[in-house]
Structure 1
Amino acid sequence: MKSLQTFGWYAARIAPHLPKDVFKPVPSRLFGGLVHLLISITGIVAISVFNLNPFINLAIGILIGTSSASMGFLGHEILHGTVVRKSWLRDLLGAVAFWPLSTGPRLWRKWHNMNHHLHTQHEEHDPDAWPSMKQFVKNRLLRSIYRLPFTIRAIANFCSLTITFTVHSARMFIVYLKDFKPTKRPVVWLECVLPWSTWIGLLFIIGPIKWLFAFLIPLLIANFIVMAYISTNHRLNPLTPINDPLANSLTVTVPKWVDALHFNFSYHAEHHLFPGINPKYYPLVKTHIKRMWPERYHEMPLWKALIALWKTPRIYYEQHKLIDPHQGKVYGSLGNGLEPSKINFRKVDKKGKTLHRDA
């Protein structure tokens, strides 16, 4: 692993080369969000009011799901303060954008902005980091899961992307609720309960079949799209004791029209260097990173990153490696021997001694 630097170290060297305008909020991004909001509302109303063919309902549900994911990406942008600056307006718009995913703005800022961004890929302090061997041996459920054949685990892993964001968000609510001041907790509860009340209320109004198309299928699709990015943001990178975004974050590449649809969420190393800059300007930040530190920067097509995730385990070994514990197969991480186009492993015994290298 190369010597690590903090995100501030990189940012201080890039910032002088950026126009001052990039540090200003970009409220025009809300127009894209309005389009996705109208698509979602129109789709839900159409499914609820009309008795449409199930295949038409499914097509509308898919459209709602893709728009819900895009709204989530915009909500992430809004709650970093890069769209509007006023705190009450930021939280209101962030709540609306995250409504389909039922995540409150205050919880998101606590969990994501404060903890994930400050402690990215830290073994103990990043709430989104995957477990190390030290944590693995203490977790009976995880040990049981890793006794399953690799292929079954890989399939289950990818299927679980359809629910992971929702489940993890609920877990973060439980973890961080106690960290809010007692006077703030009722608001945090309200931000959690209101979206779910909307969706459960919709179930009783339109019935389970229409609700399946209007909410459940879109939720699964939104989860999958959001997690396709989130799962590749860091899970191929090493754990790092110093928050170095060029070591612990991956930028994925997608077609330009997808970037437009998803508000440039693919530029993830750039986001961790400058979370206060609107993603509209991340292509410019990327140009400077690749000019200054091309050997440190990690990027690859999203599809390639997902395949690499499929082929590797998610337990960290010695921080910069990945291990399949029961099989004793050790893989590299990005910057530490992992080659996505040809993934190899070495087999180790319980003492860490190499027994075999995959050709």
Structure 2
Amino acid sequence: MKELRSFGWYAARISPHLPREAFQPVPGRLWGGAVYLTIIMSSILLITIVDLHWWINVLLAFVLGFSFAGIGFLGHEILHGSVVRTPWLRNVLGAIALWPLCTGPKLWRKWHNIEHHVHTQHEETDPDAWASLEQFYQRPYMKWVYKLPMWFRSTISFTCFSLTFTVHSLRMFFRYVREFKQRARLKVITQLVLPWSTWIGLLVLIGFEKWLFAFLIPLLIANFILIAYISTNHRLNPLVPVNDPLANTLTVTVPKWVDVLHFNFSYHTEHHLFPAMNPKYYPLVKKEIKKRWPDRYHELSLFKALLTLWKTPRIYYKAKELIDPHRGHVYGSLGNGLDPNQIKVKKLK
């Protein structure tokens, strides 16, 4: 691993070469949210009031799932302040965008904006970082899981993508809720209870069969899409003592039309350099990074990144490598010997 630099070090060298408008909010992004919101409300209403054939309900469930994910990506953008800057409006719009995912804006800003972005891939302080070998030995359930064959673990892990965001969001609620002062804590609790009350109320109103297509299946689909991105953001990168986005973050590539639907969420290294910049301008940031530090920049297609995740374990060994503890198999991480085109394994001595 080359010498680590802070995200501010990189940002200071790139900022002068970017247009002034790149650092301004872009309210026009809300039109995309309006489209997603219209699709969501129309699809739920259609499932609710019309007795459709099951395959049409399945099709609408997929449309809803993709829309839940899409508006969730916009919510992420909004709550970083890159769409609107007025705090109350940012929080209201963020709450609406994350409503299908049942995650409140106040918790999200604490968990994601503050803790994750400030401490990215730090072994102890990043709430999204995976376990080190030392932490592995302190968690009995992980010892049991890693006795299973890797192909089986990967199958279970990828299947659980459909639940992971929701489960992790609830974990973050219980992790951080006590850190808020009493008044703020009440807001965090309210922002959790209201979305869930809405969806449970819908269940009572329309019955389980229609609710399955109107919310549950879409939520599982949205979870899978979100985690397909989130799992590749950092999990192939090393743990680091310095928050260096070129070392600890991966940008994935997807077709252009997917970037349009997902608000450029694929540009994740760029996002960690300029989290408050609207993703509309991330292609310009990417160009500047590759011009200056092409050997430090990590970029894979989303498919290749997911395939590499499938073939490697998720326990860190000495921060820079990944290890399958029971087999003593050690793999590199990005920038530290991991070649996604030819994954090599060495035996722990």
TMscore range, shorter length: over 0.9
In structure 2, the residue matched to 1:173 is 173
Structure 1 unmatched ranges of 5 or more: 354-359
* Cα displacement string for residues 80-124 of structure 1 (whole angstroms, at most 9, x for unaligned residues): 000000000000000000000000000000000000000000000
* Shift of residue 194, structure 1, vs aligned partner: 0.3
- Please give the secondary structure, in 1, of the residue aligned with 2:183: coil
In structure 2, the residue matched to 1:5 is 5
In structure 2, the residue matched to 1:323 is 323
Letter in 1 for 2:138: K
- Please give the secondary structure, in 1, of the residue aligned with 2:210: helix
In structure 2, the residue matched to 1:125 is 125
In structure 2, the residue matched to 1:357 is none
- Please give the secondary structure, in 2, of the residue aligned with 1:33: helix
Does 2:78 align with 1:54?
Answer: no
In structure 2, the residue matched to 1:151 is 151
* Shift of residue 53, structure 1, vs aligned partner: 0.7
In structure 2, the residue matched to 1:79 is 79
* Shift of residue 247, structure 1, vs aligned partner: 0.2
Letter in 1 for 2:250: L
* Shift of residue 24, structure 1, vs aligned partner: 0.4
- Please give the secondary structure, in 2, of the residue aligned with 1:28: helix
Aligned mates of 1:53, 1:313 — CA distance in 2: 43
In structure 1, the residue matched to 2:101 is 101
Matches within 5 A, 1:289-304: 289-304=289-304
* Shift of residue 78, structure 1, vs aligned partner: 0.2
In structure 2, the residue matched to 1:230 is 230
In structure 1, the residue matched to 2:202 is 202
- Please give the secondary structure, in 2, of the residue aligned with 1:331: strand
Aligned mates of 1:89, 1:340 — CA distance in 2: 43
* Shift of residue 31, structure 1, vs aligned partner: 0.1
In structure 1, the residue matched to 2:138 is 138
* Shift of residue 149, structure 1, vs aligned partner: 1.4
Letter in 1 for 2:302: L
* Shift of residue 182, structure 1, vs aligned partner: 1.0
* Shift of residue 252, structure 1, vs aligned partner: 0.1
* Shift of residue 183, structure 1, vs aligned partner: 1.6
Matches within 5 A, 1:11-30: 11-30=11-30
Letter in 1 for 2:195: P
* Shift of residue 344, structure 1, vs aligned partner: 1.2
Letter in 1 for 2:155: I
Does 2:284 align with 1:284?
Answer: yes
TM-score by length of structure 1 reads 0.97
Aligned mates of 1:44, 1:318 — CA distance in 2: 49
Letter in 1 for 2:78: I
Aligned mates of 1:300, 1:133 — CA distance in 2: 26
- Please give the secondary structure, in 2, of the residue aligned with 1:330: strand
Q: 4+ runs of 1 displaced by more than 3 Å?
A: none
In structure 2, the residue matched to 1:66 is 66
* Cα displacement string for residues 155-179 of structure 1 (whole angstroms, at most 9, x for unaligned residues): 0000010000000000000000011
Letter in 2 for 1:262: H
Aligned mates of 2:85, 2:237 — CA distance in 1: 32
Aligned mates of 2:213, 2:54 — CA distance in 1: 9
- Please give the secondary structure, in 2, of the residue aligned with 1:343: coil
Aligned mates of 1:40, 1:147 — CA distance in 2: 42
Aligned mates of 2:82, 2:149 — CA distance in 1: 44
* Cα displacement string for residues 137-169 of structure 1 (whole angstroms, at most 9, x for unaligned residues): 000111111111111101000001000000000
Letter in 1 for 2:285: V
Aligned mates of 2:113, 2:296 — CA distance in 1: 24
Aligned mates of 1:110, 1:163 — CA distance in 2: 21
Aligned mates of 2:28, 2:346 — CA distance in 1: 51
Aligned mates of 2:310, 2:125 — CA distance in 1: 26
* Cα displacement string for residues 265-317 of structure 1 (whole angstroms, at most 9, x for unaligned residues): 00000000000110000000000000000000000100000000000000000
RMSD: 0.5
* Cα displacement string for residues 29-73 of structure 1 (whole angstroms, at most 9, x for unaligned residues): 000011011111111111111111111000000000001000110
Identity %: 64
* Shift of residue 341, structure 1, vs aligned partner: 1.0
Aligned mates of 2:17, 2:140 — CA distance in 1: 50
Aligned mates of 1:41, 1:238 — CA distance in 2: 42
* Shift of residue 241, structure 1, vs aligned partner: 0.5
* Cα displacement string for residues 186-240 of structure 1 (whole angstroms, at most 9, x for unaligned residues): 1111100000000101111111111111101000000000000000000000000
Letter in 1 for 2:346: R
In structure 1, the residue matched to 2:307 is 307
Letter in 2 for 1:309: L
* Shift of residue 331, structure 1, vs aligned partner: 0.3
